[in-house]
Structure 1
Amino acid sequence: TRGEIKALSEVAHVTAEEGCFLQHSCWTYWGHSGAPLFTENGRVAGLHCAWDDKTGMRLAQKLHILRSVERAIGQGAKRKAARNEAESSKRSLRGGQGGGE
């Protein structure tokens, strides 16, 4: 369906949580969470995530926020893999001595 972005919350001073969302008026229903919202030129701006029955306001998670979370998760996984590799190397160097092995 066609809708409009009601507000770009980054335009005003908002809390960190509010700054993560776009308000929109696209028709949504149960099961539409995760559906993309497109800009006029066909680019994905965000993913629908919630609505308020009382106000009719719908929210979408901003795409750049989702990408930053994805990067953070990837960096965390890389750090964990590096720690695991370092621990494995230490165990190999100890040769099972004094490490409770």
Structure 2
Amino acid sequence: MLVPLAVPGDGSADSGGSHGGLMSAVQGGIRWLYAFTDEEALARFAEARGDAGREWTYLAILGARLVDAVVPMADGPAGVAVNVADPDGSMFFPPVAGIVPDAYAVDAVDVA
């Protein structure tokens, strides 16, 4: 996966970002980390944002590592939005059991 890094001041990540400075957005109380399957998908996202003219720095990371290691670092519930500029190819991995570690799933049931 290619995960773009947030540009300071562009509103794409919280200040103080416990999510490691990765580009994200918050919708419905969930932080969505942007991820792309290839540079072409990232370029379509940049174009859709009207930001294709700048250089995009990104982190290359395995999707499983993004979900298992990075999502738990976010402040609050977090999921992964893949190829969000592709109307027929977008995928969302919400913060639910079976997708993210159970300790970070919003639907996990505590059976103490």
TM normalised by structure 2 equals 0.29
Higher RCO (Cα < 8 Å, 6 or more apart): 2
Could you say which structure has the larger radius of gyration? 1
The structure that is helix-richer by fraction is: 1
TM normalised by structure 1 equals 0.31
